Amino acid sequence: MKGTGILLNDEYDLQVLPVRDANNKIVSGLVIGNTLYQNQAVILMAQPGEIKEMPVLGVGINDVVLDTDFLSWRRRIRQHMELDGQTVNEVKFDLNKNLVIDAGY
């Protein structure tokens, strides 16, 4: 199912919670869950070329600070979320210039 996978922690490392059996052997450890928001965050932060499996994917949101053309950023964010297979309903910057993305798999 798209949108479900291995979760990352706040430092973008794998979330690992080892579960041991009666013999103290690890039977599971990686945390599985909804990956929509972490995928969006990774796509927003990555510069084009940083994601090895898909070099064209990556918004480079850090560069928005230096720009005033928010319309082109909204279009770029929408395109990159759609490249990931997301259905995008809305991308906007609110009055406080906070980014709001309404999208899903």
Q: Residue 89: what are its φ and ψ, rounded to 5°?
A: -90, -40
Q: Which domain holds residue 9?
A: 1-34
Mean pLDDT of 18-36: 94
pLDDT-derived band of residue 13, with 50, 70 and 90 as boundaries? very high
Task: Give Cα separations from 70 to 61, 86, 92 (angstroms).
Answer: 11, 21, 9
pLDDT tens track for 54-72: 999 999 999 887 788 889 9
- Amino acid type, 103: A
Stated pTM of the model? 0.85
Residues 47 and 10 placed together within one structural domain of the fold: no
Residues 62 and 99 placed together within one structural domain of the fold: yes
Residue 44 has what pLDDT?
A: 96
Residues 20 and 62 placed together within one structural domain of the fold: no
Residues 15 and 49 placed together within one structural domain of the fold: no
Contact 93, 70 (CB under 8 A): yes
